[in-house]
Chain A
Amino acid sequence: MKRRDFAALAGLGAGALWLPSFPALAGDLVDPAQLLEPGLDVAQKKRLADVALNAAKAAGATYADIRIQRTLNQGIFTREKQVQNIASAETQGIGIRVIAGGTWGFAATNNLTDASVAKTAQQAVAIAKANSKVQKEPVQLAPQKGYGEVSWKTPIQQNAFEVPIKEKVDLLLNANGVALAGGASFVNSALFQINEQKYFASTDGSYIDQDIHRIYPTFGVTVVDRASGKFRSRQAMSSPMGLGYEYLTPKAADKVMGPAGSDVIGYKQSYDILEDAALAAKQTKQKITCKSVTPGKYDLVLDPHHLGLTIHESVGHPLELDRVLGYEANYAGTSFATLAWKAKNIPYGSQQVNIVADKLQTGSLGAVGYDDEGVKTKEWDLIKAGKLVNYEKIRDQAHIVGQQYSDGCCYSQSWQDVQFQRMPNVSLRPGTTNKSVDELVAGVDKGIYIAGNGSFSIDQQRYNFQFGGQVFYAIEKGKITEPLEDVAYQANTLEFWGSCADRCDERDYRLFGAFNDGKGQPSQSSAVSHGSATTRFNAVNVINTARKIG
């Protein structure tokens, strides 16, 4: 058990004590109306930035960057017919990162007076100098030109904070009602909304103002069968998105049907929570009585809401250059995909596997104009026709692979945490010839169709993994035959991607999101999307997870 964090005792009311475990809700709890008030104007932020940059340089920094960030969060939590909590939070401050003596130093404060900002800059330099005494690898930054004064905004249609809380509560309670009417014993639902107002400036001459939005509606439905003592749950098939409240206005064009016989529905850029809640109740009841899987080798047909997490763990993480180099060895781990491994040109996957990194896709969680060290974002190939061609990098890593520029993968969860290398969106390109999900299933003789993400675990070098899901269906002779339960698959990353046999075309392509990806010490949360179309993998080892306890 993790030792109780002091922050968990920061006195949020009794009903809200568990909130700090969700990092995105950090900050001062405020009246929801405050989330609509403007923050500092750009001129004020630029002036404060210059105070910090000048103080850092005067104290001996050879490089400095600052982030003045205001983060607004709102979380609405319900269970069955009642609201459990509505929390609106705001946090604002400045984080100052410097290089002095060839070493990074970082300090942060929420006191935005000139004197406090200058003192914090001096503190960052003092920390850098203290650490430089035991530093053995001086920092080398890839060159980055200053952009001057620029800005970027998530292209949202409706700011979720402008929607009355009652409307949002009603939507969640309606979803709960639909699930209960459908036979759910319990249902929890929640809506998370985040707005990062982020101002970056550096001694390179950039002053970047960004307004970033994310939204995540979700629920969990549980059915308890008292007679047998069995209980099963199903989570929502929504994805966290880089969108506004328009995500919760369903559009027919965004709905994607699963294979015939599966009753699975996927969603693209909008989500129908009521439809999904009704399906969840039906599918959870089914899970109580359906057949337990026979372990063995199966061809797997994985829907994008499931496959996104497998991409995240087995491609996104192992290609983070800081992990590859050993910077995460003590926490998240290292990677099998070392520079020496890449040089051997060993296939990462089959010819079907084309994986791209980006921080641009509309609606994705990773989309921003510039990263947290002032680098303009882009798209680049990671795996082409099954071969590893590139990694995910930031400015102080580029030189290690002989690259003269950063990929723009730097991120910090708030003003008070130091920025470091995080995963961009990492997505599997869909097939280039027309293929529907029914056509994909038609080619499978003995298989399992898996939708939704469930249990996940992977080793510290990203070889061996095990994934569950939300719903499972047997495929026999090209057709879905019946639902299954107790399914998980175990594989080795290279064997798994080597077994990638086929995939649907872009009509089936949609984004999965990891809203709360943890990395670093102290651990920080980031949000990232993974796109794919439904994809087939041959002869994967499936285990049965049912056990008996006393």
Chain B
Amino acid sequence: MAILSQTEAQDILKKVIGYSTADECEATLSGTLEGNVRSARNSISTSGATDNVSLAVTSYFGKKQGTATCNQFDDATLKRCVQRAEEIARLAPDSPEHMPLLGPQQYLSSPQSFAQSTAAITPDYRARQMGASMDYCTSKKLTSAGFLNDRAGFVAKRNSKGLEAYQRLTNADFSVTVRTPDGTGSGYAATDYTDVKNFDAARLTAVAAGKASSSVGAKAIEPGKYTVILEPNALVSNSDASLLGALMRSFDARSADEGRSFLSKKGGGNRKGEKLFDERITVYSDPTNAEVPDLTFAGDGRPQQRTTWIEKGVVKNMYTSRYWAQKSGIPDLPPPGGFIMEGGTQSTADLIKGTQKGILVTRLWYIRPVDPQTLLYTGLTRDGTFYIENGAIKFPIKNFRFNESPVIMLNNVEAIGRPVRLAGNLVPPLKIRDFTFTSLSDAV
């Protein structure tokens, strides 16, 4: 049931819009077929599968709106759902931020967002991949804990003003933590794919295993300001907050205009057009990028286009709600799905070779905001932290707590590596000077 074709989905949505007696009506049908398997201690721990299709109907009377949802699609249920949305709307207070629905839109095409290989994953496939990961660790006398989650789905939209959208998507995430049996070494690796044809859990597990073995016997060095090489897992995450994720989520124009963002300008207004980062920093989003294909429309039906957020260190655009865009007369840009940070050609290994003294950080974790005024965040290194001297890794070091702002970090750029896909983004490893570690952690 989960993945309806464009025709099947729009046929249901046409019926829904036809049942509407409201001033305006919008309906969204989405479905996900999802499965997962989880392991720990080199053994399967839990697994599951869900199959769900859901319809959401939003009805508008003047400035009043109401939404109802259902997950059965016979005519009687569809009618009831529309009636419920209308009843809820009639009871709702007027919204002073109401915007009329969008009319027909032109969307980019991003056919690569769906891969049959991912949609066809079975419980046996998951068990086989996880089994290979666990077998690798067993053979190396290491202990693994992993998670594989795959999803295939679609989103279709239609409204009473003629807007029509449909797209299919697939995604698979795999992550694995490998530890030495005595708990003195730990490594991590993660990946995500739209198309799993090249996915090899054992190959990725070998990376985590290498980090685990080589992080045994970590030495303590003093906290302070260090040159660091932050691998992509230290910059973005699909399971935790992250420094670059936090930065890109802060590009909201309204918060900036209201004076409660690092992008607010002293005295009023925002800092669009100002150079706030190193001139080598350029960040954009593009739902048609072949490596990170994404939805070409936002939840409210606005088109997702290629959009530059930071260009050569200058704040180029901020995202906004439709209401705030109209009120402020600024470009009407929805928040992006993933983002792409431009980089160079160097691998992490190349960055290490070019480093006199520094620290290689595999991963940052438990990242939480400390001060939204400066976008200061705290968190810790984890799963492989190493001291670099004269272009080579010298020894593993104990983990640190950091207190750092991505704004300061992106002003202290020494080098930018080759971007790789992670958590739906393209992110390069970054070499940063004066990264602030404030205390040591005994955690492995």
> Are B48 and A15 in contact, with the CB atoms below 8 A?
no
Q: Which of A210-218, A345-353, A458-466 contacts B (4 or more CB under 8 A)?
A: A458-466
Q: What class of interface size applies to chain A in its complex with B?
A: 35 or more
> Are B248 and A1 in contact, with the CB atoms below 8 A?
yes
Q: Does B56 contact A (CB under 8 A)?
A: yes
> Are A455 and B370 in contact, with the CB atoms below 8 A?
yes
CB of B42, distance to nearest CB on chain A (Å): 6
CB of B406, distance to nearest CB on chain A (Å): 10
Knowing A1-B249, A336-B443, A464-B439, the reply to whether A103 touches B44 (Cβ < 8 A) is: yes
Interface residues of B in 360-379 (CB under 8 A from A): 365-376, 378-379
- Chain B residues near A8: list those with CB within 8 A: 299
- Chain A residues near B258: list those with CB within 8 A: 185-186, 224
Tell me the nearest residue of chain A to B374, going by C-beta: A547
Q: Does A546 contact B (CB under 8 A)?
A: yes
> Are B50 and A416 in contact, with the CB atoms below 8 A?
yes
> Are B294 and A546 in contact, with the CB atoms below 8 A?
no
0/1 string, B17-35, CB within 8 A of A gives 1: 0000000001111101000
> Are A10 and B248 in contact, with the CB atoms below 8 A?
no
> Are A459 and B443 in contact, with the CB atoms below 8 A?
yes
> Are B88 and A521 in contact, with the CB atoms below 8 A?
no
Tell me the nearest residue of chain B to A129, going by C-beta: B123
Assembled-state Cα–Cα distance A89/B38 (Å): 29
Knowing A110-B71, A126-B123, the reply to whether A326 touches B47 (Cβ < 8 A) is: no
> Are A549 and B407 in contact, with the CB atoms below 8 A?
yes
Q: Which of A130-138, A359-367, A375-383, A437-445 contacts B (4 or more CB under 8 A)?
A: A130-138
> Are B337 and A3 in contact, with the CB atoms below 8 A?
yes
Q: Does A457 contact B (CB under 8 A)?
A: yes
> Are B30 and A9 in contact, with the CB atoms below 8 A?
yes
> Are A12 and B56 in contact, with the CB atoms below 8 A?
yes
Knowing A28-B69, A522-B149, the reply to whether A463 touches B443 (Cβ < 8 A) is: yes
- Chain A residues near B439: list those with CB within 8 A: 464, 490, 541
Interface residues of A in 1-59 (CB under 8 A from B): 1-4, 6-17, 27-32, 34
> Are A10 and B146 in contact, with the CB atoms below 8 A?
no
Q: Does B339 contact A (CB under 8 A)?
A: yes
- Chain A residues near B198: list those with CB within 8 A: none
> Are A17 and B47 in contact, with the CB atoms below 8 A?
no
- Chain B residues near A3: list those with CB within 8 A: 171, 173, 192, 238, 337-338, 423-425
Q: Does A228 contact B (CB under 8 A)?
A: yes
Q: Which of B104-112, B260-268, B350-358 contacts A (4 or more CB under 8 A)?
A: B260-268
CB of A1, distance to nearest CB on chain B (Å): 4
> Are B131 and A133 in contact, with the CB atoms below 8 A?
yes
Interface residues of B in 370-400 (CB under 8 A from A): 370-376, 378-380, 382, 399
CB of A232, distance to nearest CB on chain B (Å): 8
- Chain B residues near A133: list those with CB within 8 A: 127, 131
Assembled-state Cα–Cα distance A32/B68 (Å): 10
0/1 string, A330-341, CB within 8 A of B gives 1: 110110101000
Q: Does B300 contact A (CB under 8 A)?
A: yes
Q: Does B236 contact A (CB under 8 A)?
A: yes
Interface residues of B in 143-190 (CB under 8 A from A): 143, 145-147, 149, 151, 153, 155, 157, 169, 171, 173, 175-177, 179, 183, 188
Q: Does A468 contact B (CB under 8 A)?
A: yes
- Chain A residues near B260: list those with CB within 8 A: 185-186, 222, 224, 231, 233
Tell me the nearest residue of chain A to B146, going by C-beta: A330
> Are B27 and A459 in contact, with the CB atoms below 8 A?
no
Q: Does A328 contact B (CB under 8 A)?
A: yes
Tell me the nearest residue of chain A to B383, going by C-beta: A460
> Are A226 and B267 in contact, with the CB atoms below 8 A?
yes
> Are A521 and B239 in contact, with the CB atoms below 8 A?
yes
Q: Does B121 contact A (CB under 8 A)?
A: no
Assembled-state Cα–Cα distance A468/B128 (Å): 45
CB of B434, distance to nearest CB on chain A (Å): 12
> Are B28 and A123 in contact, with the CB atoms below 8 A?
no
- Chain B residues near A228: list those with CB within 8 A: 266
Q: Does B222 contact A (CB under 8 A)?
A: no
CB of A131, distance to nearest CB on chain B (Å): 4
> Are A6 and B28 in contact, with the CB atoms below 8 A?
no
> Are A455 and B378 in contact, with the CB atoms below 8 A?
yes
Assembled-state Cα–Cα distance A464/B238 (Å): 23
> Are B405 and A131 in contact, with the CB atoms below 8 A?
no
Interface residues of B in 418-444 (CB under 8 A from A): 423-425, 438-444
Knowing A14-B322, A547-B408, the reply to whether A6 touches B299 (Cβ < 8 A) is: no
CB of B96, distance to nearest CB on chain A (Å): 6
> Are A224 and B367 in contact, with the CB atoms below 8 A?
no
Say which residue of A28, A130, A165, A232 sits within 8 Å of B127 (CB atoms).
A130
- Chain B residues near A83: list those with CB within 8 A: 92-93, 95
Q: Does A104 contact B (CB under 8 A)?
A: yes
CB of B243, distance to nearest CB on chain A (Å): 11
Assembled-state Cα–Cα distance A29/B84 (Å): 9
Q: Does A484 contact B (CB under 8 A)?
A: no
> Are A130 and B299 in contact, with the CB atoms below 8 A?
no
Q: Does A311 contact B (CB under 8 A)?
A: no
Q: Does A539 contact B (CB under 8 A)?
A: no
- Chain A residues near B28: list those with CB within 8 A: 9-12
Q: Does A265 contact B (CB under 8 A)?
A: no
> Are B365 and A106 in contact, with the CB atoms below 8 A?
no
> Are A15 and B71 in contact, with the CB atoms below 8 A?
no
Tell me the nearest residue of chain B to A544, going by C-beta: B403
- Chain B residues near A34: list those with CB within 8 A: 84
- Chain B residues near A460: list those with CB within 8 A: 365-366, 380, 382, 443
Most buried by B among A104, A233, A461: A461
> Are A229 and B264 in contact, with the CB atoms below 8 A?
yes
> Are B370 and A458 in contact, with the CB atoms below 8 A?
no
- Chain A residues near B130: list those with CB within 8 A: 134
Knowing A29-B69, A123-B49, the reply to whether A11 touches B370 (Cβ < 8 A) is: no
0/1 string, B86-125, CB within 8 A of A gives 1: 0110011101110100000000000000000000000110
Knowing A110-B71, A330-B40, A460-B366, the reply to whether A11 touches B239 (Cβ < 8 A) is: no
Assembled-state Cα–Cα distance A420/B40 (Å): 14
Assembled-state Cα–Cα distance A34/B85 (Å): 13
> Are B30 and A10 in contact, with the CB atoms below 8 A?
yes
Say which residue of A108, A230, A331, A543 sits within 8 Å of B403 (CB atoms).
A543
> Are B442 and A229 in contact, with the CB atoms below 8 A?
no
- Chain B residues near A233: list those with CB within 8 A: 260, 372
Q: Does B82 contact A (CB under 8 A)?
A: no
Assembled-state Cα–Cα distance A416/B401 (Å): 37
Q: Does B242 contact A (CB under 8 A)?
A: yes
CB of B261, distance to nearest CB on chain A (Å): 8
CB of B400, distance to nearest CB on chain A (Å): 9
Q: Using A29-B56, A417-B48 as known contacts, list a sample of 19 further A-B pairs with CB atoms less than 8 Å apart, ordered by residue number in A.
A: A6-B30, A7-B32, A11-B157, A12-B56, A29-B67, A31-B88, A106-B46, A185-B260, A224-B260, A229-B267, A328-B40, A330-B175, A458-B366, A463-B441, A490-B401, A521-B239, A546-B374, A547-B371, A549-B374
Interface residues of A (CB under 8 A from B): 1-4, 6-17, 27-32, 34, 82-84, 86-89, 103-108, 110, 123, 126-127, 130-131, 133-137, 165, 169, 185-186, 222, 224, 226-233, 325-331, 333-334, 336, 338, 416-418, 420, 455-464, 466, 468, 486, 488, 490, 492, 521-523, 541, 543, 545-550
A-B contact pairs, 17 of them (CB 8 A): A1-B242, A3-B192, A9-B30, A11-B29, A11-B299, A12-B28, A28-B68, A82-B95, A86-B92, A136-B43, A185-B259, A222-B260, A231-B259, A326-B41, A455-B370, A457-B366, A464-B441
Interface residues of B (CB under 8 A from A): 26-30, 32, 36-38, 40-50, 52, 54-56, 58, 65-71, 84, 87-88, 91-93, 95-97, 99, 123-124, 127-128, 130-131, 134, 138, 143, 145-147, 149, 151, 153, 155, 157, 169, 171, 173, 175-177, 179, 183, 188, 192, 236-239, 242, 244-245, 248-249, 258-260, 262, 264-268, 276, 294-295, 299-300, 321-322, 337-339, 365-376, 378-380, 382, 399, 401, 403, 405, 407-408, 411, 423-425, 438-444
